[in-house]
């Protein structure tokens, strides 16, 4: 287990960098997780993907498929991997504060 600290609050991450208590997610938490993933700064395209993933998860209680992410954001898969080098699931879902999806290692 590891931790991040945001505004004086210590938050636990699982071994793969996913927030153990997703209900504590904030944009500041997203930024802290992105720093752990060696992303310099989240730009508007990062936030478009993050917000889409979060909104989809909050509506359907599962993360969207990669195909849906590309369709809904208009970004091709190559660009999404440029935004999130760890990938749209492991990288983007972790930053978006979702629990680790089943089958994601």
The catalytic site residues sit at: 104
- How many other CB atoms sit within 10 Å of the CB of residue 17? 18
Give the closest residue to 37 by CA, choosing from 59, 53, 63, 19.
Answer: 19
d(CA 34, CA 80): 14
């Amino acid at each position: 287990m590891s931790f991040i600290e945001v505004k004086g609050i210590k938050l636990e991450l699982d071994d793969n960098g996913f927030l153990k208590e997703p209900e504590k997610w904030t944009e500041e938490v997203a930024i802290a997780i992105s720093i752990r993933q060696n992303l310099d700064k989240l730009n508007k395209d990062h936030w478009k993907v993050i917000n889409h993933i979060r909104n989809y998860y909050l509506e359907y209680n599962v993360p969207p498929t990669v195909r849906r992410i590309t369709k809904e954001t208009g970004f091709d898969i190559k660009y999404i991997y440029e935004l999130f080098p760890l990938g749209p699931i492991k990288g983007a879902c972790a930053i978006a504060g979702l629990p680790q999806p089943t089958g994601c290692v």
